[in-house]
Amino acid sequence: MDQGIFEMFAQENNPSTPVTPAYSSAYSIPVVEKIVVISIGGSIILDEKPKTNFIAKLAQTITELNQEGFKTCLVVGGGSTARSYIASAKSLGANNFVLDELGISASRLNAQLLISSLENAFPKVLTEISQIKLVLEKGKIPVLAGLLPGLTTDCIAALCAEFLQADFINMTNVDGVYSANPKEDARARKFPELSYEKLLSLMRIADIKPGQNLVLDIPACLILKRSKIKTMVLDGTDLENFKNAVRGLDFEGTIIRETEKSEEEI
Ligand code: UTP
């Protein structure tokens, strides 16, 4: 546990107050407000370099939503930073664990960059999911990135949503979940709504095709399914559409939730 984070809070409230044990209330704080966990794909905040204009607009949008009363928890992806370091280390002979650790470091670098543009974020990238509630309770925005080799930041975001009993929004570089890769198959159709089972079967089919970049990886889908987390997949570059999704209004994208509809209907 990173005790430093909680020391910051203690000092903020009263410089002379001794630091209370970090775990005292991390699990026990009741979740009373609507919280949304947002997985921010690295590809929407970076091309070859960070997209600073877009990052500033995204930060402004998050601030606006927070002022409206929506609490957000952000999880940032590795994008081109991760891919570049992973490719270099691979050519130098690094093993998969080391490659994943580089991906995690890259995602944390991107997360720290986003924090620098946000008005009300907790100043450090969180490294434990259990720290989120305390940060939210203090009125700050928790920002996380990669945590453990073998996972993805979407999976971390799904775990955060499970922990907080929150909704999950995946801001990605496609505008929803399709029946096939829309960039390769002109017949691919977008699903406005999906069941967890159908999402999983689509991702399983995509996963066996080499070079497929899954909208949501299978471990993330399994977490969403087991805790029936309401999930929205949308084009992360369209911030007006994103705001509609957070506000519970109609939005362009795919919504994944428990549905009474049969597979043929969706
Ligand atoms: P991302 O989750 O960002 O992967 O993590 P991505 O599929 O490239 O997503 P975009 O491009 O951001 O949308 C980058 C890499 O970091 C490692 C993995 O190697 C992953 O491919 N990683 C990330 C982990 O090993 N564990 C984590 O918890 C997160």
Angle in degrees, CA 28, 32, 35, rounded to 5: 100
Percentage of the chain lying above the pLDDT 90 cut: 75
The per-residue pLDDT for range 26-49, each reduced to its tens digit, is 554 444 468 999 999 999 999 999
**Average pLDDT value for the chain:** 88
Name the token pair of 41: 């794909």
β-bridge pairing 143-144 and 71-76: parallel
Q: Which of 179, 197, 178, 166 is nearest to 39 (CA)?
A: 166
**pLDDT on residue 17:** 41
Residue tagged 């939210």 (tokens): 136
CA distances from 230 to 71, 172, 176, 204 (A): 16, 16, 14, 20
**pLDDT on residue 266:** 56
**pLDDT on residue 214:** 80
Q: Is the shortest distance between the CB of 77 and ligand 1 below 6 Å?
A: yes
Q: Which atom of ligand 1 is nearest to the CA of 42?
A: 12
Whether the per-residue pLDDT at 261 is higher than 90: the answer is no
Q: Which residue of 48, 148, 153 sits with most ligand 1 atoms within 8 Å of its CB, as the best mutation to test the pocket?
A: 153
Confidence bin at 15 (pLDDT 50/70/90): very low
Q: Is the shortest distance between the CB of 87 and ligand 1 below 6 Å?
A: no
* Phi-psi region at 211: left, alpha or beta (left = phi > 0; alpha = psi -120 to 50): left
- CA gap 110, 250 in Å, rounded: 30
Q: Is the shortest distance between the CB of 236 and ligand 1 below 6 Å?
A: no
Q: Is the shortest distance between the CB of 79 and ligand 1 below 6 Å?
A: yes
Confidence bin at 208 (pLDDT 50/70/90): low
Which domains are assigned to the chain? 34-256 (3.40.1160.10)
Over range 129-148, report the average pLDDT. Answer: 97
Residue that wins the pLDDT comparison between 14 and 57: 57
The per-residue pLDDT for range 155-203, each reduced to its tens digit, is 999 999 999 999 999 999 999 999 988 888 889 999 999 999 999 999 9
Confidence bin at 260 (pLDDT 50/70/90): low
